[in-house]
């Protein structure tokens, strides 16, 4: 492939981070000798029945109204969320809510239930059916400001974290969230430890979030069975716990109430969550707590240890 | 397929306007409601879980057009796709009779979702269902008549009326329930179903319990009929084993049964496709799951109409 064949105004490398090999980097020590910083990120989402079309992506697989897929997502708020909440409470696990902020308007009861448990709220855009592709800088700033304002208004929390709505981006996304005061993003999947993200302004950290552990990927893409998902979670944890003795690791379980809250998927998940939270050297944390600890203690050292990336031919 | 790496088109500013950002839903079809906050439901004879088995009798025409999309189970090869046509039809000739036997062992009635075409083509199958005391639910004309947004309300009303007239005549039953082929609806579907005198619809998968839908005439009730745990999804789409399917049904039931101790009556729907679960190597998965469920006390095996009639007076 030659340069001439490439589309204009596109890059070959996102340019977000230097190379930092897993076997040669500053060792992380989490608080109280924990080996794994463990966090759970329920995606609390609102999908619109008939949103305007972004030219880059249709909101639904079927033509409007996609009753099947819309109602499947709606199951999460009516039904699945409440089951998931009970499991989290039984395991003494706080959530870090990846929030479509319009949920604050549509279903404030869900927001209150999370806030009552001391959960963190971070932004997953406005709706899961409004995508960032094609937005200019002013439009994208408007979306981020909406998240900052809405989360503060409804929960009193300062917005720290970002997971782009439906994982859609512009080339500006990372710079803009950092510039507007956010401290971590969940959109990059290159590491099992937090790492610095290069931005024009501000201090931004990439927080391990894991698509491999994400119930959407597990159930909707990889089509695994619920008991197998429980096994996957335990295997992931066991290895990160082992490695965390040398240098602290991060494990995240990203969830979607419409998937994990189905009765047939609940018991296997609860068993795995109970297994993980039952370990001694685990820091049961939120995304914000991990990001702040990392930014204070390791962001600078990781930045300094980064090896610059060579120019590919 | 190569990735599209050109810069996306700019978005108009009104893409950031949200006229339906408000309390509740972004439509008027039903009200926002949280399962744990509802009045608890009591089933007849202090039952804890209503077991609702829903096999579908489907006919996929050989020359199906697949408009506006190919439904699950559609023809796949170039015409004539004899292999998929006949494998689907296997369900109506063989598979359904294995399901009948599995249910009879425990005295479980079914609500069978029937394409009108099946009733016309195989009248003796409808007689068999009647003999077993099964409820007939409408499942559209056939698997190539998908209700969708591009269909005019007049045309859709014609399809619904024709479906109901065929099924009511063939079965002698009132036919109170509706499942759209592939759960595909237009914006008008619930209005048209209510006008045609139907009492419940099974297309919406957002709840574990019945709930009222608003229509232009009378209320229509949405009945829980999940698709992600049916035999087609688990066995054909997800490629899980028969034992995995059995275990998922058992895990599903166990959670609902446990909930019913403190949360009120629950419903365990089992949606089946005879051409899938009715294969000799698969049927035992259903039998073992049913044996597990029926070994519990407080199980009420019922039809959709019976569940609806028990639920309706308690709904406030």
Taking a contact as any Cβ pair under 8 Å apart, which residues of chain A between 161 and 190 contact chain B? none
State whether residue B9 sits within 8 Å of chain A by CB. Answer: yes
Which of B8, B11, B255 faces A263 most closely, judged by CB atoms?
A: B255
State whether residue B197 sits within 8 Å of chain A by CB. Answer: no
Distance CA A81, CA B75 (A): 37
**Is B91 a member of any domain?**
yes
Which of A65, A82, A224 faces B35 most closely, judged by CB atoms?
A: A82
Of residues B218 and B13, more confidence is placed in B13
The per-residue pLDDT for B7 is 75
**Is B207 a member of any domain?**
yes
What mean pLDDT do residues A91-116 have? 98
- The helix (run of H) or strand (run of E) holding residue A138 is helix A137-155
What is the distance of C-alpha B137 from the center of its chain?
A: 9
- Reply yes or no on whether the pLDDT at A281 is more than 70: yes
Model confidence band, residue A10 (pLDDT cutoffs 50, 70, 90): confident
What mean pLDDT do residues A259-276 have? 98
State whether residue A58 sits within 8 Å of chain B by CB. Answer: no
State whether residue A71 sits within 8 Å of chain B by CB. Answer: yes
The per-residue pLDDT for A2 is 46
Query: For the CA atoms of A146, A147, A149, A150, what is the dihedral angle to 10 degrees?
Result: 100
Read off the CATH number of the domain in which B264 is found: 3.20.20.370
Distance CA A297, CA B132 (A): 71
What mean pLDDT do residues B154-172 have? 98
- Reply yes or no on whether the pLDDT at A308 is more than 80: yes
The residue among B202, B166, B163 whose CA lies nearest residue B182 is B202
- Reply yes or no on whether the pLDDT at A90 is more than 80: yes
Beta bridge partners of B51: B268, B301
The per-residue pLDDT for B1 is 39
Cα-based angle A111, A117, A118 (whole degrees, multiple of 5): 90
**Is B156 a member of any domain?**
yes
- The helix (run of H) or strand (run of E) holding residue A287 is helix A287-297
Chain segment B230-279, per-residue pLDDT in tens: 999 999 999 999 999 999 999 999 999 999 999 999 999 999 999 999 99
- Reply yes or no on whether the pLDDT at B289 is more than 60: yes
**Is B162 a member of any domain?**
yes
Model confidence band, residue B3 (pLDDT cutoffs 50, 70, 90): low
- Per DSSP, A282 falls in state E
- Reply yes or no on whether the pLDDT at B90 is more than 50: yes
The per-residue pLDDT for B316 is 65
What mean pLDDT do residues B86-100 have? 98
Closest approach of B239 to chain A, Cα-based (Å): 8
Chain segment A166-214, per-residue pLDDT in tens: 999 999 999 999 999 999 999 999 999 999 999 999 999 999 999 999 9
State whether residue A263 sits within 8 Å of chain B by CB. Answer: yes
**Is B240 a member of any domain?**
yes
Distance CA A229, CA A268 (A): 7
What mean pLDDT do residues A19-31 have? 98
End-to-end distance of chain B based on CA atoms, in angstroms?
53
What mean pLDDT do residues A264-282 have? 98
- Reply yes or no on whether the pLDDT at B218 is more than 90: no
State whether residue B155 sits within 8 Å of chain A by CB. Answer: no
Whether A190 contacts A206, CB under 8 Å: yes
What mean pLDDT do residues A280-297 have? 98
- Reply yes or no on whether the pLDDT at A6 is more than 90: no
What is the distance of C-alpha A124 from the center of its chain?
A: 8
Q: Do A79 and B35 touch (CB under 8 A)?
A: yes
Domain that holds residue B136: 43-314
- Reply yes or no on whether the pLDDT at A249 is more than 80: yes
- The topology (CATH level 3) of A20-305 is TIM Barrel (3.20.20)
State whether residue A118 sits within 8 Å of chain B by CB. Answer: no
The per-residue pLDDT for A5 is 60
Residue numbers in A near B33 (CB within 8 A)? 78
* Global confidence as pTM: 0.96
Chain segment A135-149, per-residue pLDDT in tens: 999 999 999 999 999
Neighbour tally for A178: CB within 10 Å: 22
Interface test with A, best of B34, B153, B240, B241 (most A CBs within 10 A): B34
Chain segment A28-49, per-residue pLDDT in tens: 999 999 999 999 999 999 999 9
Closest approach of A109 to chain B, Cα-based (Å): 9
Interface test with B, best of A74, A90, A264, A266 (most B CBs within 10 A): A264
Please count the structural domains in chain B: 1
Q: Which residues contact B224 (CB under 8 A, 6 or more apart)?
A: B205, B207, B208, B209, B210, B267, B269
- Reply yes or no on whether the pLDDT at A3 is more than 50: no
The residue among B306, B304, B315 whose CA lies nearest residue B31 is B315
State whether residue A216 sits within 8 Å of chain B by CB. Answer: no
Q: Do A263 and B251 touch (CB under 8 A)?
A: yes
Distance CA B181, CA B184 (A): 6
Chain segment A153-168, per-residue pLDDT in tens: 999 999 999 999 999 9
């Amino acid at each position: 492939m030659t340069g001439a064949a490439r589309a204009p105004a596109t890059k070959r490398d996102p340019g977000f981070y230097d190379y930092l090999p897993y076997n040669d980097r500053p060792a992380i020590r989490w608080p109280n000798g924990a080996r794994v910083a463990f966090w759970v990120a329920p995606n609390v989402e609102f999908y619109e029945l008939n949103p305007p079309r972004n030219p880059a992506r249709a909101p639904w697989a079927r033509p409007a109204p996609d009753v099947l897929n819309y109602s499947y997502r709606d199951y999460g708020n009516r039904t699945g969320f409440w089951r998931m909440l009970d499991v989290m409470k039984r395991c003494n696990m706080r959530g870090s809510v990846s929030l479509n902020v319009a949920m604050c308007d549509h279903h404030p009861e869900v927001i209150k239930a999370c806030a009552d448990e001391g959960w963190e709220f971070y932004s997953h855009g406005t709706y899961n059916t409004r995508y960032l592709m094609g937005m200019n800088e002013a439009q994208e700033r408007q979306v981020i400001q909406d998240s900052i304002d809405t989360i503060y208004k409804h929960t009193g929390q300062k917005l720290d974290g970002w997971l782009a709505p439906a994982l859609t981006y512009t080339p500006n996304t990372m710079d803009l969230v950092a510039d507007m005061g956010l401290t971590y993003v969940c959109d990059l999947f290159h590491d099992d430890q937090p790492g610095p993200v290069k931005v024009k302004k501000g201090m931004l950290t990439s927080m391990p979030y894991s698509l491999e552990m994400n119930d959407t990927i597990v159930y909707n893409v990889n089509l695994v069975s619920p008991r197998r998902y429980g096994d996957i979670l335990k295997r992931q944890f066991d290895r990160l716990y082992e490695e965390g003795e040398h240098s602290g690791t991060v494990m995240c379980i990203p969830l979607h109430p419409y998937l994990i809250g189905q009765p047939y998927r609940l018991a296997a998940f609860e068993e795995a969550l109970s297994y993980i939270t039952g370990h001694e050297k685990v820091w049961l944390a939120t995304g914000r707590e991990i990001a702040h600890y990392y930014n204070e203690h390791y962001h600078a050292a990781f930045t300094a240890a980064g090896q610059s990336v060579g120019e590919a031919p | 397929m190569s990735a599209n790496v050109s810069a996306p088109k700019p978005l108009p500013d009104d893409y950031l306007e949200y006229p339906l950002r408000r309390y509740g839903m972004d439509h008027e079809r039903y009200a926002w409601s949280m399962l744990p906050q509802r009045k608890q439901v009591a089933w007849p004879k202090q039952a804890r879980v209503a077991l609702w088995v829903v096999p579908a009798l489907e006919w996929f025409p050989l020359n199906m057009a697949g408009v506006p999309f190919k439904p699950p189970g559609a023809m796949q090869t170039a015409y004539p796709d004899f292999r998929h046509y006949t494998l689907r039809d296997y369900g109506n000739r063989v598979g359904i009779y294995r399901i009948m036997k599995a249910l009879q062992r425990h005295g479980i009635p079914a609500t069978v979702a029937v394409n009108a075409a099946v009733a016309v083509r195989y009248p003796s199958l409808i007689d068999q269902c009647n003999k077993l005391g099964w409820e007939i639910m409408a499942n559209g004309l056939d698997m190539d008549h998908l209700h969708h947004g591009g269909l005019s309300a007049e045309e859709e009303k014609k399809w619904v009326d024709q479906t109901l007239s065929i099924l009511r005549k063939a079965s002698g039953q009132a036919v109170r329930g509706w499942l759209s082929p592939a759960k595909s609806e237009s914006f008008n579907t619930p209005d048209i179903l209510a006008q045609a005198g139907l009492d419940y619809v099974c297309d919406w998968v957002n709840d574990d319990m019945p709930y009222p839908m608003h229509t232009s005439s009378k209320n229509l009730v949405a009945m829980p009929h999940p698709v992600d745990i049916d035999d087609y999804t688990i066995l054909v789409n997800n490629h899980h084993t028969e034992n995995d399917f059995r275990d998922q049904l058992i895990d599903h039931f166990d959670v609902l049964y446990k909930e019913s101790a403190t949360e009120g009556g629950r419903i365990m729907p089992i949606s089946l496709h005879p051409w899938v679960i009715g294969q000799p190597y698969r049927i035992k998965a259903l039998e073992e799951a049913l044996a597990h469920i029926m070994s519990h006390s407080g199980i009420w095996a019922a039809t959709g109409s019976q569940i609806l009639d028990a639920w309706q007076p308690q709904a406030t």
